[in-house]
């Protein structure tokens, strides 16, 4: 009998995870908590939040779920893995004491310093006067970061001191992110190309998956405010095997060893956000989960059965489980509501999802059913993903599919993946 799997989360990332799992030969039933309208087409969705451990545990028992996989970071930081493991349940993701790698920038920067992992020079402060002093000393450009989770809004790259100082006030005085801003990291502004590198770790073995490039700004040409991500593609042509070997030796392996040495063995996805500087790769941040929208681009390229991958991490057998990806490319374009990442309307009717070609997937994020209609229900509404032999082919495909899809105010970037073509 197949394994029953629960996916925690509700974005396009989790839709891609459910879609990939649905292709596993060993899969039984798939459940999602809470899921979304797209996930509901291939899994049973339950209106349970990832932070509601009691209800999740009840669901596991009622539906005879064999394995749980956590999509977003918040339940990991709240200790969902610890709660499940304490009851002997199988769950994919880092424990609370390892999820701190994403949860506290102060922790992570100090870890980098202690173990010599390349990253921007920094100071960390809980006293605003000391922070101000450091700002004056260093000058602009400079980067101000809230210590904790701030829904992607806690980082300000300041081109002048006034902006840096205002960021400090917003985080520490106005407490725009609550306790996440009790401490700040102020760091050197790095120049270069950004890349997201994904690996798996079972506590001992690090197994590289693929690299991808995210597009965080809302408008073409990387203009406008930051968003949760307007698109991604994989693989980036500049992420060469030589560069990867360096990242493995200087970043991924040392971080995993450091976490083990600190009594915080790391299990799950390791997502390194890197800046490729003139002095080599430097870490901007670590995340403890798959990226969104990167997951929508990379999961369709995964050749190894996804369920097998999850089990190998849980069982600590990654060293015996080779993980391979197709030598193809993929491009994910996010279709967003007008106004996102600011205010936007919801409830707009979505049409045209019925007839996309076989090389294209549509993953839902902010959608819901309203009677027989599908309507918008968030800022990022859909992820449209095409694969191809090359990034150029995947770009052509994805942009030929999108004009068939419609909702009022639909906005998307026309240049996802174009960094890859310039090279
Ligand atoms: P983070 O959440 O730390 O990845 O920061 C979000 C974004 O801010 C990154 O994707 C970068 O574009 C930018 N950023 C963060 N740290 C730095 C830095 N030290 N220098 C330049 N840009 C940075
Ligand atoms: N793609 C950015 C993130 O998932 O945090």
**Bridge pairing between strands 142-146 and 155-158:** antiparallel
Report CA(160)–ligand 2 centroid distance (Å): 26
Tell whether the model's pLDDT for residue 152 goes beyond 80.
Answer: no
Going along the chain from its start, the domains and CATH numbers come out as: 3-97 (3.40.50.20), 127-182 (3.30.1490.20), 193-320 (3.30.470.20), 329-421 (3.90.600.10)
pLDDT at site 317: 97
- State the chain's mean pLDDT as an integer: 96
Closest ligand to residue 147's CA:
1
3-state class of 252 per DSSP? helix
Q: List all residues 6 or more positions away from 410 whose beta carbon is below 8 Å from its beta carbon.
A: 335, 336, 337, 338, 381
Alpha carbons 194 and 202: distance in angstroms, whole number: 26
Q: List all residues 6 or more positions away from 376 whose beta carbon is below 8 Å from its beta carbon.
A: 337, 345, 346, 347, 348, 350, 366, 367, 407
Report CA(372)–ligand 2 centroid distance (Å): 32
Report CA(341)–ligand 2 centroid distance (Å): 15
Tell whether the model's pLDDT for residue 1 goes beyond 90.
Answer: no
pLDDT at site 399: 98
Length of the chain: 423
Task: Specify the ligand 1 atom closest to the Cα of 187.
Answer: 19
What residues does ligand 1 touch, defined as CB less than 6 Å away? 120, 143, 145, 155, 157, 187-190, 194, 273, 284-285
% of the chain at pLDDT higher than 70: 100
Of 33-42, 56-65, 176-185, 255-264, the poorest mean pLDDT is in: 176-185
Report CA(41)–ligand 1 centroid distance (Å): 36
Alpha carbons 147 and 388: distance in angstroms, whole number: 40
What's the average model confidence in pLDDT over 171-187?
92
pLDDT, tens digit, 9 for 90 and up, residues 105-115: 999 999 999 99
Q: How confident is the model at residue 188 (pLDDT cuts 50, 70, 90)?
A: very high
pLDDT at site 423: 59
Report CA(155)–ligand 1 centroid distance (Å): 7
What residues does ligand 2 touch, defined as CB less than 6 Å away? 214, 229, 287, 291-292, 294
pTM for the whole structure:
0.96
Tell whether the model's pLDDT for residue 226 goes beyond 90.
Answer: no
Q: For residues 30 and 208, which has the higher predicted lDDT (pLDDT)?
A: 30
Tell whether the model's pLDDT for residue 355 goes beyond 90.
Answer: no
The kind and range of the H/E element at 383 are: strand 380-388
pLDDT, tens digit, 9 for 90 and up, residues 8-49: 999 999 999 999 999 999 999 999 999 999 999 999 999 999
Closest Cα to atom 2 of ligand 2: 291
Report CA(276)–ligand 1 centroid distance (Å): 12
Alpha carbons 7 and 22: distance in angstroms, whole number: 12
Closest Cα to atom 4 of ligand 2: 291
């Amino acid at each position: 009998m197949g394994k029953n799997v629960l996916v925690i989360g509700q974005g396009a990332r989790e839709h891609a995870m459910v879609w990939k799992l649905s292709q596993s030969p060993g899969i039984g039933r798939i459940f999602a908590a809470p899921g979304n309208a797209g996930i509901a087409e291939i899994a049973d969705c339950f209106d349970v939040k990832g932070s509601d451990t009691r209800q999740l545990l009840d669901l596991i028992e009622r539906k005879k779920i064999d394995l749980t996989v956590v999509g977003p970071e918040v339940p990991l930081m709240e200790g969902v893995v610890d709660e499940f493991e304490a009851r002997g349940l199988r769950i994919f993701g880092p424990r609370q004491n390892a999820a701190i790698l994403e949860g506290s920038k102060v922790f992570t920067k100090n870890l980098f310093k202690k173990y010599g992992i390349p990253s921007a020079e920094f100071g960390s402060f809980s006293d605003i006067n000391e922070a101000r002093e450091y700002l004056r000393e260093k000058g602009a450009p400079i980067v101000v970061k809230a210590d904790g989770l701030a829904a992607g809004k806690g980082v300000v790259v300041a081109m002048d001191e006034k902006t840096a100082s205002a960021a400090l006030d917003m985080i520490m005085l106005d407490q725009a992110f609550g306790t996440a801003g009790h401490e700040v990291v102020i760091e050197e502004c790095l120049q270069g190309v950004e890349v997201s590198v994904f690996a798996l770790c079972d506590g001992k073995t690090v197994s590289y998956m693929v690299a991808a490039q995210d597009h965080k700004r809302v408008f073409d040409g990387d203009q406008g405010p930051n968003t949760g991500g307007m698109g991604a593609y994989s693989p980036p042509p500049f992420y060469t095997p030589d560069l990867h070997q360096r990242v493995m030796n200087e970043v991924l392996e040392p971080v995993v060893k450091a976490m083990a040495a600190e009594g915080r063995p790391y299990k799950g996805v390791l997502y390194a956000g890197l800046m490729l500087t003139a002095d080599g790769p430097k870490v901007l941040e670590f995340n403890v989960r798959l990226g969104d929208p990167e997951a929508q681009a990379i999961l369709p390229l995964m050749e190894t059965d996804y369920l097998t991958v999850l089990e190998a991490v849980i069982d600590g057998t990654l060293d015996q489980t080779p993980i391979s990806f197709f030598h193809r490319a993929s491009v994910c374009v996010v279709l967003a509501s007008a106004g996102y990442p600011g205010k936007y309307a919801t409830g707009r009717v979505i049409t045209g999802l019925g007839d996309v070609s076989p090389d294209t997937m549509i993953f839902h994020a902010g959608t819901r059913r309203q009677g027989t209609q599908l309507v918008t229900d968030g800022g990022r509404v859909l992820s449209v993903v095409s694969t191809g032999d090359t990034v150029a082919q995947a770009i052509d495909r994805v942009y030929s599919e999108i004009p068939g899809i419609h909702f009022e105010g639909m906005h998307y970037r026309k240049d996802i993946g174009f960094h890859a073509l310039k090279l």
